[in-house]
Amino acid sequence: MHKRIMMIKGDITHLPVDAIVNAARTSLRSGGGVSGAIHRAAGPKLKKLCQQQRHQQGACPTGHAVITDAGNLPSRKVIHAVGPVWRWGWRATLKQSQLASAYQNSLLLAVEHGLQTIAFPAISTGHYHFPRLLAARIAITTVRDFLKSNPVISQVIFVCFSERDAAIYQTSLDFYLKGEDDLC
């Protein structure tokens, strides 16, 4: 039996899952990091789909997500989740809530579209400077809590590109999923 929540070190653009999540900008335009890698691997079709999405609905607010086809990727869909830009101070609680919402809204879209396997990058931890350990806690606990009441999704994979992120996510998974035999 496979783990329902797991972490792998690798390239999210190579995974043959139902959906991969793009750490997107509000404009849905390609950026650096994982967003740039996803757009490059998906080809020009993804850019066109994102433009169509923008024209239909406007910008995607922080904490929200939209779904498109995946272009040339081995996944069926791309869920574009907009995480917050981190800044220390009085808005830290809001930023944490927005990050949790980005994960939750991605999962809701997956359920709505009948997608069973989904892969997440470490949303907001690159160019948006969200503290990695805090981001891992939010991601893992949000996914854990969502899966407890949503059996449609059979597997969530956290995909970390760097050794540093992989170590943080694996340690966090071990801690936050302790005793959750139905999820790990």
pTM above 0.75, yes or no: yes
Specify if 123 maps to a domain: yes
Tens-place pLDDT, residues 24-80: 988 888 877 889 999 999 999 989 988 988 888 888 999 999 999 999 999 999 999
Tens-place pLDDT, residues 101-127: 999 999 999 999 999 999 999 999 988
Looking at the structure of the chain, the number of domains it has is: 1
Residue 10 belongs to domain with CATH number:
3.40.220.10
Strand 117-120 to 19-24 pairing:
parallel
Question: Is the torsion defined by CA of 59, 28, 101, 148 positive or negative?
Answer: positive
Q: What is the residue range of 31's domain?
A: 5-176
Please name the amino acid found at residue 136: A
Tokens of 36: 């740039």
